Amino acid sequence: EPEVTQTPSHQVTQMGQEVILRCVPISNHLYFYWYRQILGQKVEFLVSFYNNEISEKSEIFDDQFSVERPDGSNFTLKIRSTKLEDSAMYFCASRTGGNQPQHFGDGTRLSIL
């Protein structure tokens, strides 16, 4: 069964550094998402991406965050200058459309030191 893959599984970065989290969504999917889960908290929506542009973003997704789909297969989340509070699990998801469910990757654990 096709799946969403995320790399790396764990990323450790110094505060203030840039980080790029990578995702390969399922190939025929059209909608792409990033979520995060801070330890002990809910899974929170960050951003949705459709037709090569951001369709919706949360208040968490400020100017330090950006997303890109550079080559039709990868979907990346960049954090320009990381803060301690960016430490979380980051999940990528994708879906075809309509009421089809989102399929999630296994996440990247981001640890900011």
Partner 1 sequence: DQQVKQNSPSLSVQEGRISILNCDYTNSMFDYFLWYKKYPAEGPTFLISISSIKDKNEDGRFTVFLNKSAKHLSLHIVPSQPGDSAVYFCAAPPRGAGGTSYGKLTFGQGTILTVHP
The amino acid occupying position 55 is S
Site residue total, partner 1 (CB under 8 A)? 25
Which listed range, 13-21, 61-69, 72-80, 92-100, lies at the site for partner 1 (CB under 8 A)?
A: 92-100
**Backbone phi, then psi, for 86, in 5-degree steps?**
-80, -5
Q: Does 33 bind partner 1 (CB under 8 A)?
A: yes
| Dist. CA 101–CA 93, nearest whole Å | 10
Residue 24: alpha-carbon gap to chain centroid: 10
User: Binding residues for partner 1, per CB under 8 A?
Assistant: 4, 6, 31, 33, 35, 42-45, 48, 50, 55-56, 58, 91, 93, 95, 99, 101-107
